[in-house]
Amino acid sequence: MLTRKQLELLDFIRVRMDLDGVPPSFDEMKEALDLRSKSGIHRLITALEERGFIRRLAHRARAIEIVKLPEAMERPGFTPRLVETPPAPPPQPRTALPVTAVHALELPVMGRIAAGVPIEAISEVSHHIAVPGSMLSTHAQHYALEVRGDSMIEAGINDGDIVVIREQTTAENGDIVVALVEDSEATLKRFRRKGNLIALEAANPAYETRLLPDSMVKVQGRLVGLIRSY
């Protein structure tokens, strides 16, 4: 496969030899191809010779012999396809980081979780989502939930976000958890234990903290990641 300039030069040599019986000079080639120097012609001639299209005869001035032509140039009615040399990629900024592959896993999205007024308990897989492996613990089960409501907005959790949850039944004070209330309502809140009571705190002053007996609250998992689509 020839580049555009190589093909142009080969065609120019062929035409001149058909007309005059001798190949053009390097100056004529340079002008015909609109090159700034003869060194560019030298490179093109060398490339054509290495590919077997021409032969340079030793000890003879302007001695170039065409050995063969691309098939498309030999067949009447066809225009050869010009192959442009692909441009070099732009240099990367000095501060650019290398691009590396990211390991990801498919997690089930178990419906919606209320970041506001609690909704029904989570029970069915609605779809799956790819989650970066760096969010996940090696020896634990995980699932994802779609957030509905704005009670955790000051914790950076917006309506429509996907939260990644690690399955566990315990929590530390300050953890954001999926809490199952009275085996029927699921909600995403910050967990705090106060004696025999569990406080489920919102991250929005418009919502009050719920204080419930610990027997009414079951931790279903802890927030470990968040995915947002724009």
23 burial class (0-12, 13-18, 19+ CB within 10 angstroms)? buried
Catalytic residue among 151, 184, 215, 229: 151
Listed in sequence order, the DSSP H helices in the chain are 4-20, 26-32, 38-50, 71-74
* 189 is annotated as an active-site residue: yes
DSSP state of 83: B
- Closest by CA position to 217, among listed 144, 123, 75, 121: 121
* 134 is annotated as an active-site residue: no
What is the spatial distance between Cα 41 and Cα 44, in angstroms, rounded to a whole number? 5
Catalytic residue among 39, 189, 194, 215: 189
Q: Tokens standing for 164?
A: 């990644």
Amino acid identity of residue 223, one-letter, is: L
Residues labelled catalytic:
151, 189
